[in-house]
Structure 1
Amino acid sequence: MCGITGFIQWNRDLTQDSELLLEMTESLGHRGPDASGTWISGPCAFGHRRLSVMDPENGAQPMITYQEDSVYSIVYNGEIYNAPELRRELIHRGYHFRTHCDTEVLLQSYVEWGPDCLDRLNGIFAFGIWDSMKEHVFFARDRLGVKPLFYSHIEDTFIFGSEPKALLAHPKVEPVVGAEGLAEIFIVGPARTPGHGVYESIKELRAGHAMIYSRSGLKTYAYWSLESAPHEDDAEHTASRLRELLQDTAERQLISDVPVCSLLSGGLDSSALSALAADYYNRTGQGQMSTYSVDYVDNDRHFKTHSFQPDADTPWIKRMVEELNTDHHWIQFDTPELVESLYASTQARDMPGMADVDGSLYLFCKEIKKGATVAISGEAADEIFGGYPWFHREELLNSGTFPWSTAPDMRASLLSPEIREWISPLDYIGDRYSQAVAEVPKLDGETKQQAKMRVMSYLNITRFMPTLLDRKDRMSMAVGLEVRVPYCDHRLVQYVWNIPWEIKTFGGREKGILRKALEGVLPEDVLYRKKSPYPKTHNPSYLAAVKQQLLDILDDPTSPLLPLIDASKIREIASSEGASSHLPWFGQLMSGPQLFAYLSQVNAWLKNYHVTIR
């Protein structure tokens, strides 16, 4: 994985802007600690920071190739998992390769097929290719949006980057946030609306989209989206097909020239990938698989069961480590580290995110990086297969809004009256919800219940899942760790999308068809364990620390947060018994430790990024 950036400015020779390009490129140094490269040709400037995973010796970027009188240059972030097949086809078509890396395969694929090359790719990617013959730059992002790509089109200049910080390093991009940006931060968040970059002048290329920037302007289009169709397979054939797809995608994503490990929580999703990985390592003679887990000091003393986290993970992790005989690493954090990480994770996202859930992942990835460069993670299985509680509760299915944010009026009440009036929070989230529902590809002949579940699946795949993928990318790449997400293979996602709800819940269980597909892969007790999310701290010292941190902010008259919020309302919450609630950040209420931590993140972001509200 890498960091990419650059800008295009017609009618200007950008060689005089080499220092600016270098500054933008270096802002992404954390994403690519192994190498740096820049390339300028006339109106096009590309920058790249590299994390070496495949062919470390020869995969430097920007990479350039020549075809007759044409020049093609690429900056690329990602992995193409079917690169070996594409390479063979291109060789058959007369192409010659200088390297063994997927970057060259992607570049030559564009030379051969142009934008249609996207239909052939299996992978996670964000890239830009300068095409001198057509005098344009072609950009694309992978189908599920695993890899990020932001851009600004200001006057005669087009600016892009893997993260907003690279764009903000350009003098034309200012850290201005308007009404929509504040609504995204306070009302829609953490599930940011696809395409919105929060900053007024920054947009995000949506998942499954491509764009072409030429002298005639910017053209953006979707090259892939979910398609609704009748599902013809019965439960037995569906389970068999799912297992086949999972095995194939897991094995493709284990290929690397550097160490690979697996994140293991003891739950269904991560245990399945760890089991498939361990089996692959055994069959290919690669030795013992490394696994990593995260927990918090004294969590065993303070853990309390609730609907989102019915039991603790530690016994289940031990069960899987013994079952798979992995080289396991137990990572544990204490409250001071977790509080401090709130600011590092805000810097990684360039905006407030998921509070301690972001911070702990940042710390976790930092520890993993000491022993591995690539990790595989069970991210996205719950969105795709319907594992969250809100898939199974009628009041949330019928809430008429995003199920992870069913109390927008409560969120709105935390804002100052002036900000509430300006951003119209309830209208805003209502419009975003209606927009999302209107996008759902319908299927004729479905029952009312089936259609309702399709809507819920779509909301999760296109609105909530991108938030978690963004979190995974930013927290891992902030420390130079590549995390791969096999459940986001587009073939798997498209197949599962059309599985009827009654088959998805085979056996009357959430993710029942996935459990059936994994019979024989996992021990039965792990296979039918109740869902448990990414672990959180339950230590009351964390609540005390983040509450005091926020109160200190409220006591400082220079805090940039103050004009945006109802400080008296926040103080009231802080002094109430409800402040000790440990409801998940993405649950139906924003309360307790997550609220205090999040508002502290917002204040740090406004201050450190010199954000202007207008």
Structure 2
Amino acid sequence: MCGITGWIDYHQDLRDSSSIIEQMTATLTARGPDAKGTWISGSCALGHRRLSVIDPENGAQPMIKQHESGTYALVYNGELYNAPELRQELISRGHTFKTTCDTEVLLVSFIEWRESCVERFNGIFAFAIWVEAEHKLYMGRDRLGVKPLFYQADEGVFLFGSEPKAILKHPDVEPEIGAEGLAEIFLVGPARTPGHGVYKQMKELRPGHLLTFDQSGLCITCYWKLQSEEHEENADETAKTVRELLIDTVERQLISDVPVCTLLSGGLDSSALTALTVRHYNKRGLGQVNTYSVDYVDNDKHFKAHSFQPNADAPWIERMVEELGTNHHAITFDTPELVQSLKDAVFVRDLPGMTDIDGSLYLFCHEIKKGATVALSGEAADEVFGGYPWFHREEALNANTFPWALAVPLRKSLLRPELAAAIHADEYVADRYQEAIAEVPHLPGEDAQARKMRVMSYLNITRFMPTLLDRKDRMSMGAGLEVRVPYTDHRLVQYVFNIPWEIKTYGNREKGLLRKALEGLLPHDVLYRKKSPYPKTHNPNYLNAVRAMALERLDDSSSPLHQFIDAARIREIAQSEEASSNLPWFGQLMSGPQLFAYLLQIDWWLTHYKVKVTL
């Protein structure tokens, strides 16, 4: 994995401005701590930071290749899991290779098949290729959006980067937000709208899309999206197919020239990936698998079971470690570390995000990085297989809005009335929802219930899942750790999208089909354990700390929060019973402690980034 950035400018010779691309590249050092490189040719400047995973001795970027059709320059972030097959096909077509890395496979694939090469890729990627003969830039992003890619375009000028910070480093770019950016932060966030970069003029290339830029301007096309198809297999056949796809996916994603581990929470999703990894290692005599888990000081004293988190993870982790014989590393953080990580996470993401869930993952990845460079994570199984509570609740299914936006009226009540009016709060969320459901590929002849479940699946895969994938990428790459997410394999996602709901919920259980597919791989009690979310601290010291800090910022008249927030309302919440609850009452995605932490992140972001607000 890596960090990429670039600058196209048809108005000047960029060879005279090499320091700028070097500074843009330097902002991505955490993503690629092993090597750096830049390449400049007249109108194009490319930058790259490398995290070496495959063929560490070679594969330096930007990668330049001469072909009979001219010069091609590539910067690339990601992994192609079918690189060996592609390499063989390209060799059969007369191409030769100087390295064993997938970077060269991607570049030669483009030379051979041009933009249609992405349709052959199985992997996670964000890339940019400059074709010197055409004076043109080509960019692509993977189907589900695992790897990030932001850009900003003006007349004859184009900037891009794996993260906004690379673009913001350019001297002509100002960190500015308008009404849409504020709506994304205060209403939609953290489940932000695909394609929005939040900053004015900055956008995100959407998953499954290609972009070209030349002197005639910008062109964006979609090369992949979910398709609705008749599902022909019965429950047994479906479970068999899911199992085969998952095994193939995990084995492909275990390919690496550096140490690999798995994240293990003791839940269904991570336990399944760990079991398949152990099986793969045992078959090939690769030794003991390293596993990692995260917890918090005194969580055992303060944990209280509730519907969102029915039981603690620790006993289940021990159960799986004993069952599989992994070399386990239990990482524990205390409240001061967690509070500090809130600020760190803002600087990694360049935006306020998922508060302690971001920060703890950032800390966790730093610890994992001490022993591994690549990790497998169970992210996205709930979106793909229908594991979240809102898949199973009529009020969410019939809400006529995003299930995670049910509390927008509450979010709106936290804003100053003039801000809520300026950003058209109600209309903004309603418009984003209508745009999303207009994309849903319905199947002719579906009954009302099937249509409803297809909409919910589509919203989760295309609107909510990107939130978690962005979090996983940004926090892990901020620590120089590559995290792979097997449940996002596009073959698996496309197949499961079309499975009827009654088969997905086999045995009348959430993710019942996945459980059935994994029978024999996991102990029965783990296989049928009720879902438990990403672990958070239950220590009241955390609430006390973030509440006090947030109120302190509101007591400071210089805090930028006063432009946006109804301070009296926040103080009222701070004294309420809900403030001490770890239940996600605020906007479906935030608890009381997370609300105060989110306000702190907004304050730090606006202050540190010197964000200019224009309405």
TM-score greater than 0.5 by the shorter chain: yes
**Equivalent in the alignment of 1:565:** 565
- 1:179 is aligned to 2:176: no
> Residue type of the partner of 2:481?
L
> Residue type of the partner of 1:206?
R
Contact 1:152–1:173 (CA under 8 A) maintained in structure 2: no
- 1:394 is aligned to 2:357: no
TM-aligned CA distance change 1:585 to 1:21, over 3 Å: farther
Contact 2:411–2:587 (CA under 8 A) maintained in structure 1: no
- 1:569 to partner: Cα distance: 0.4
Deviations 1:41-73 (A, max 9, x none): 110100000000000001100001111250001
**Equivalent in the alignment of 1:149:** 149
> Residue type of the partner of 1:504?
K
Counterpart CA distance in 2 for 1:259 and 1:326 is 14
- 1:405 to partner: Cα distance: 2.1
Counterpart CA distance in 2 for 1:496 and 1:240 is 12
**Equivalent in the alignment of 1:481:** 481
Counterpart CA distance in 2 for 1:137 and 1:79 is 21
Counterpart CA distance in 2 for 1:140 and 1:173 is 23
TM-score with structure 1 setting the length = 0.99
Counterpart CA distance in 2 for 1:258 and 1:538 is 35
- 1:218 is aligned to 2:218: yes
- 1:11 to partner: Cα distance: 3.8
Counterpart CA distance in 1 for 2:415 and 2:154 is 31
**Structure 2 gap ranges (5+):** none
- 1:334 is aligned to 2:334: yes
**Equivalent in the alignment of 1:57:** 57
Moved more, 5-14 or 509-518: 5-14
> Residue type of the partner of 2:67?
Q
Counterpart CA distance in 2 for 1:563 and 1:389 is 35
Deviations 1:320-353 (A, max 9, x none): 0001000000000011000000000011110000
Alignment length (residue pairs): 614
Counterpart CA distance in 2 for 1:475 and 1:161 is 16
Counterpart CA distance in 1 for 2:589 and 2:478 is 29
> Residue type of the partner of 1:431?
D
- 1:134 to partner: Cα distance: 2.5
| Secondary structure of residue in 2 paired with 1:310 | coil
Counterpart CA distance in 2 for 1:95 and 1:589 is 50
- 1:363 to partner: Cα distance: 0.6
TM-aligned CA distance change 1:413 to 1:345, over 3 Å: same
Deviations 1:533-568 (A, max 9, x none): 110111111000000010110011111111110000
Contact 1:250–1:273 (CA under 8 A) maintained in structure 2: yes
Counterpart CA distance in 1 for 2:363 and 2:182 is 28
- 1:131 to partner: Cα distance: 1.1
**Equivalent in the alignment of 1:505:** 505
- 1:585 to partner: Cα distance: 7.5
| Secondary structure of residue in 1 paired with 2:144 | coil
| Secondary structure of residue in 2 paired with 1:535 | coil
> Residue type of the partner of 2:453?
M
- 1:135 to partner: Cα distance: 2.2
> Residue type of the partner of 1:371?
G
For 1:114-129, list aligned pairs within 5 A.
114-129=114-129
**Equivalent in the alignment of 1:193:** 193
Counterpart CA distance in 1 for 2:116 and 2:546 is 50
| Secondary structure of residue in 2 paired with 1:210 | strand
- 1:10 to partner: Cα distance: 1.0
**Equivalent in the alignment of 2:300:** 300
**Equivalent in the alignment of 1:104:** 104
Contact 1:436–1:459 (CA under 8 A) maintained in structure 2: yes
**Equivalent in the alignment of 2:540:** 540
| Secondary structure of residue in 2 paired with 1:551 | helix
Same amino acid, percent of matched pairs? 68
> Residue type of the partner of 1:44?
C
- 1:590 to partner: Cα distance: 4.1
For 1:240-389, list aligned pairs within 5 A.
240-389=240-389
For 1:575-590, list aligned pairs within 5 A.
575-584=575-584, 588=588, 590=590
> Residue type of the partner of 2:530?
K
Contact 1:338–1:359 (CA under 8 A) maintained in structure 2: yes
| Secondary structure of residue in 2 paired with 1:84 | helix
| Secondary structure of residue in 1 paired with 2:153 | strand
**Equivalent in the alignment of 1:40:** 40
Deviations 1:7-34 (A, max 9, x none): 1011421101100000000000000000
| Secondary structure of residue in 2 paired with 1:404 | helix
Counterpart CA distance in 1 for 2:397 and 2:586 is 16
Moved more, 394-403 or 249-258: 394-403
- Consecutive aligned runs of 4 or more in structure 1 exceeding 4 Å deviation: none
Counterpart CA distance in 2 for 1:578 and 1:162 is 38
> Residue type of the partner of 2:424?
S
Counterpart CA distance in 2 for 1:585 and 1:158 is 42
> Residue type of the partner of 1:423?
I
**Equivalent in the alignment of 2:530:** 530
TM-score with structure 2 setting the length = 0.99
Deviations 1:90-114 (A, max 9, x none): 1111111000000000000000000
**Structure 1 gap ranges (5+):** none
**Equivalent in the alignment of 1:491:** 491
> Residue type of the partner of 1:209?
H
> Residue type of the partner of 1:427?
E
> Residue type of the partner of 1:477?
M
Contact 1:82–1:122 (CA under 8 A) maintained in structure 2: yes
Moved more, 120-129 or 60-69: 60-69
- 1:589 to partner: Cα distance: 6.6
